[in-house]
Structure 1
Amino acid sequence: MAYRHGIYTTESDTQVVDPVEAGTGLVVFGTAPVNLLDNPSEAVNKPIQVNDWNGAKNEIGYSEDWSKFTLCQQMDASFRRINAGPVIFVNVLNPTDHTASESAVTINVSEGEAVIEKEGVLLNSLTVSAGDGSSNYVEDTDYTADFNEDGHVVISILDSGSITGSDLTVTYDYLDPESVTSEDIIGGYDSENGTYQGIEVIEQVFPRLGVNPGLLSAPGWSHQEEIGTTLVLKSRGINGGFNAGNILDVKGNTKDDAASDKDTKLYDDSSSTICWPRAKISGKTYQYSAIAAALMVRLDAENDNVPYKSPSNKKISISAMVNDAGEEVYLDQMAANELNGNGIFTAINLNGWRTWGNNTAAYNDTVQNIDVKDRFIAVRRMFDWWGNSFMLSFLDRVDDPTNTRLIESVVDSENIRGNSLQGEGQIAGAAIEFRQKDNPTSDILDGVIKFKQRVAFYTPARVIENDLEFDPTLLTNALFGGGE
């Protein structure tokens, strides 16, 4: 090494923290046919993340009866219609609490099989005996039992067993989804046992899965005021800091009914996207919130998980929109705009079915001076996503020494992130500062530091207008070429 004498400087690379993309984190609450699983009790009041259709069937079960098993319509919408995932499901249907029993039911044996034509049967409760009740049979000795594609139990007679008659008598317990109430969906925290139920399970999503919730939904339930209100409340301050959006349905047979229902239930929070009416695809009717949620997940995935694009005016493969009575609803642009003006997200058939509406539930065209961050769905979601991403990105910096290295790390990393997103056209701009006026000595001595970040997200071009004017000179030039 050369002999050194004097003063020198060196340079080190800027310490940049790679941002952690928050992603959509769609969490859906409801009921599922968990009796189809090997261990039904393991799929109750627990966040279960699934990535595809087969995963959903294997992890929570599937049924075509969406009125009883409400999570299944989100499964179908996300993985079969919109093809978007992952989705986090929370099932509240508990085989311990929500069951009923059938005793001494006679079923016929045909070609070595007998079928219990009822959904929800709990296999571990099944007993099989002779048609006249004279003898009891033993599973795996006299018969085997499993589910068919319809979710019905098929009892297969073993040739080596002792079953000979043409009838069997069966007794069993079965899931009773109709006994699930709004209180089960809302749930709560049991401090004595340290357990979470219902919507309160949202607090377990990040600790269990490492995913921060971005959207909450409960199709088939969110039209109930107490459930919708709970979803709104639980959307903010999750795990003490994360914020999410929520997607709710309102009821009604007409657009005026829907607007009135929204007002009556006070669904007016900026975190909410309000949906009406329902969507119909291939003979199946979906709560529109299930379609909207799946669409937002797909839209995010197509844009690097940055939710900067509005979910409005996106084509959706549906066959009709229907009201609560099952009657088809055809909204023209004027009628759909009335709903939008009341903060309701809908759909119109304009050169194909497409989503229609940019406004959160907080917007009403009679309300003046609403903050832009609370008005537009895309802007509100960007604020939530940005805040969640910041917390995840710099979680490892908490409890580090409060020195310039820490401050520069945050400032440099966030400015680089902002410049990158701006360069991609995903935001208008972002800049972060560490200002002395925001950080008095007393706060620093208390271990508290504060940054000031200014952000600007693109608002949707909800109106594109072209002012047409007839220009006589263009006509003259066309006829005479501008000559004498």
Structure 2
Amino acid sequence: MAYKHGVYVQEQATSLVPPVNVEGCVPVVIGTAPIHLASKPAKVNKPVLCYSYAEAVEQLGYSDDWKSYTLCEAMYTAFSLYGVAPIIFINVLDPAVHKEEVANEQVAVTKKVAVIEDAVILDTLKVTGLTVDVDYVVSRDDTGNTVITIDDDSSHVSDENVTVSYTKIKAKAVTKTDIIGGVDIETGANKGLEVLEDVFSVTSIVPGVLIAPGWSNIPEVAAVMATKVNRINGVFRGITFVDLDTISVKKYSDVPAWKNKHNYTSEDQYVLWPRCYVGDKVFHMSSHAIGVNGVVLANNDDIPYESPSNKSIKIEGTCLYDGTEVVLNLTTANYLNGNGVATAINHIGGWKLWGDEMACYPANTDPKDRFLCVRMMFNWHRQTFIRTYFNKVDGPLRRRNLDTIVNSERVRLNGLVAQEVLIAGDISFTADENPTTSLIDGVVKFHQKLTPPVPMRDIEEVIEFDPTAYESLFS
């Protein structure tokens, strides 16, 4: 040791660790995109993080054909109607796979312009007998059609038809198998719902809510969605907003039987029925639910302690798949809620999302499982704890490190209680939960108790006629 003479100061790491700021419930949307219309197309089966509508269109393209391109519905709803961000998209439509060849098609030319009303992959387009950028130029119109404009100096300027060959996107070739996905045998890359495992690695954002409009009404897809969100990256947990079928299920009274028959009963599923509309646009309710939930989160510092139920939903009505109007009143909507299904009603104050219960209700009445906002709070706490203390992994098992975690958590929990985000919360490290056999194996266990506020789903008043008031007439 060097010789010292004087006064010296050393610094020691603070014994309190500030929590990591985590996003409340960032939505992940899986489906199909018109990737051929994107100016900077994103890779297929990769998480695409978008903070604006323009950014999403640039990387994924946009089309009003929501039945073919399901990501566009969520894109429009989240950004245009609710203004919530960010959104993470996963596109499974692969132009190299989901395609069809078109050969020698005759297209009429009107005023030197030929329009192909198809999902043309531009770099595959060939015009027989003509040279691109010499005889013609190619562009897109506002609806995504391919426009061939004959040059004034071309010898074909007077042609009434052109013969074209091209490769086109075949969105209908995408099936539930593509959505469910798996692992590519040759490359080891994740596909479909397996890409959920890549979201945190690519974006540093933990998936909060998973939706698949146009696909989650397929029981097999919904089941896999629930499985995948239950243990993301082996440690995190999310939830799914799923839509029930509105083709075969046309009456509210038939919903519970269909729901139970097809096993939409998970504590990780928030089930919605029917569909909804704005003007001539028909939506899946899950697309609107992430918008409503996003607005509530934004108003609460991204802490998901408040239910999105009874909050404004930007729709004009509810309907079936074919647009047939569905009229629900408070009684019929509550019947759905009582069977673990959320919906929308126009009761007091305009249209509202209506329902607090997860799909597991009424079979499971545990508050942490049955109530949407409580389930989200537990998920939010889980990811906060993991991300805050992950750097403690492989540190020495000593009292100071244990106290740092306990003390830091108590400060955080006390702050949440002061905000009334929690009713109560505490953490402990006890001998009975940490036997020597576990400690010498490097395993330590903390025990936390959380009490998020449950939604006041039923407010009641008792009123009675008071005949004694007539005594005042004689005083």
Question: Does the TM-score normalized on the shorter chain lie above 0.5?
Answer: yes
CA spacing shift, 1:162–1:299, aligned 2, 3 Å: farther
User: Is the contact made by 1:345 and 1:356 (CA closer than 8 Å) also made in structure 2?
Assistant: yes
Identity percentage over the alignment? 37
Amino acid at match of 1:395: F
User: Is the contact made by 2:423 and 2:453 (CA closer than 8 Å) also made in structure 1?
Assistant: yes
Q: Structure 1 residue 16: deviation in Å?
A: 2.2
Q: Structure 1 residue 349: deviation in Å?
A: 1.1
Corresponding residue for residue 122 of structure 2: 123
Q: Structure 1 residue 405: deviation in Å?
A: 2.6
Deviations 1:160-205 (A, max 9, x none): 5443223221111111111111111100012531211100100110
In structure 2, how many angstroms separate the alpha carbons of the residues matched to 1:181 and 1:264? 22
Amino acid at match of 1:34: I
User: Is the contact made by 2:292 and 2:312 (CA closer than 8 Å) also made in structure 1?
Assistant: no
Q: Structure 1 residue 429: deviation in Å?
A: 1.5
Corresponding residue for residue 16 of structure 1: 17
Higher mean alpha-carbon deviation, 439-448 vs 228-237, is at 439-448
Amino acid at match of 1:121: V
Q: Structure 1 residue 442: deviation in Å?
A: 2.2
User: Is the contact made by 2:25 and 2:376 (CA closer than 8 Å) also made in structure 1?
Assistant: no
Q: 2:149 aligns with which of 152, 156, 175?
A: 156
Corresponding residue for residue 213 of structure 2: 219
Deviations 1:68-117 (A, max 9, x none): 11111111111111221211111111101111122222223334432112
Q: 1:357 aligns with which of 355, 367, 378?
A: 355
Instruction: Tell me, yes or no, if structure 1 residue 142 matches structure 2 residue 135.
Output: yes
Q: Identify unmatched segments of 5+ residues in structure 1.
A: 5-9, 130-134
Amino acid at match of 2:94: N
Q: Identify unmatched segments of 5+ residues in structure 2.
A: none
Instruction: Tell me, yes or no, if structure 1 residue 28 matches structure 2 residue 26.
Output: no
CA spacing shift, 1:280–1:156, aligned 2, 3 Å: same
In structure 1, how many angstroms separate the alpha carbons of the residues matched to 2:153 and 2:392? 67
Q: 1:330 aligns with which of 324, 327, 330?
A: 327
Corresponding residue for residue 278 of structure 2: 281
Corresponding residue for residue 60 of structure 2: 60
Give the TM-score, by structure 1 length.
0.92
Note the 1:416-431 alignment, pairs <5 A.
416-431=411-426
Corresponding residue for residue 409 of structure 1: 404
User: Is the contact made by 1:126 and 1:173 (CA closer than 8 Å) also made in structure 2?
Assistant: yes
Amino acid at match of 2:264: Y
Amino acid at match of 1:167: N
Corresponding residue for residue 88 of structure 1: 88
Q: Structure 1 residue 11: deviation in Å?
A: 10
User: Is the contact made by 1:43 and 1:60 (CA closer than 8 Å) also made in structure 2?
Assistant: no
In structure 1, how many angstroms separate the alpha carbons of the residues matched to 2:12 and 2:242? 53
2:432 match: secondary structure: helix
Amino acid at match of 2:113: E
User: Is the contact made by 2:40 and 2:58 (CA closer than 8 Å) also made in structure 1?
Assistant: no
1:473 match: secondary structure: helix
Higher mean alpha-carbon deviation, 316-325 vs 220-229, is at 316-325
Instruction: Tell me, yes or no, if structure 1 residue 446 matches structure 2 residue 457.
Output: no
Instruction: Tell me, yes or no, if structure 1 residue 193 matches structure 2 residue 187.
Output: yes
Corresponding residue for residue 254 of structure 1: 251
Q: Structure 1 residue 142: deviation in Å?
A: 2.4
Q: Structure 1 residue 444: deviation in Å?
A: 1.8
In structure 2, how many angstroms separate the alpha carbons of the residues matched to 1:199 and 1:3? 64
Corresponding residue for residue 170 of structure 1: 164
Amino acid at match of 2:308: P
Give the TM-score, by structure 2 length.
0.93
CA spacing shift, 1:140–1:476, aligned 2, 3 Å: farther
1:437 match: secondary structure: coil
In structure 2, how many angstroms separate the alpha carbons of the residues matched to 1:204 and 1:11? 37
2:326 match: secondary structure: coil
Q: Structure 1 residue 404: deviation in Å?
A: 2.3
CA spacing shift, 1:413–1:439, aligned 2, 3 Å: same
User: Is the contact made by 2:39 and 2:58 (CA closer than 8 Å) also made in structure 1?
Assistant: no
In structure 2, how many angstroms separate the alpha carbons of the residues matched to 1:162 and 1:400? 77
In structure 1, how many angstroms separate the alpha carbons of the residues matched to 2:470 and 2:113? 84
In structure 1, how many angstroms separate the alpha carbons of the residues matched to 2:338 and 2:305? 21
Aligned residues between the structures:
464
Amino acid at match of 1:353: W
2:310 match: secondary structure: coil
User: Is the contact made by 1:373 and 1:379 (CA closer than 8 Å) also made in structure 2?
Assistant: yes
2:62 match: secondary structure: coil
CA spacing shift, 1:153–1:433, aligned 2, 3 Å: same
2:22 match: secondary structure: coil
Task: Please give the root-mean-square deviation of Cα atoms over the aligned residues, in Å.
Answer: 2.0
User: Is the contact made by 2:178 and 2:191 (CA closer than 8 Å) also made in structure 1?
Assistant: yes
Deviations 1:247-302 (A, max 9, x none): 11112111122222211111101110000000111211001111112221222122
Amino acid at match of 1:31: T
User: Is the contact made by 1:254 and 1:323 (CA closer than 8 Å) also made in structure 2?
Assistant: no
Higher mean alpha-carbon deviation, 227-236 vs 190-199, is at 190-199
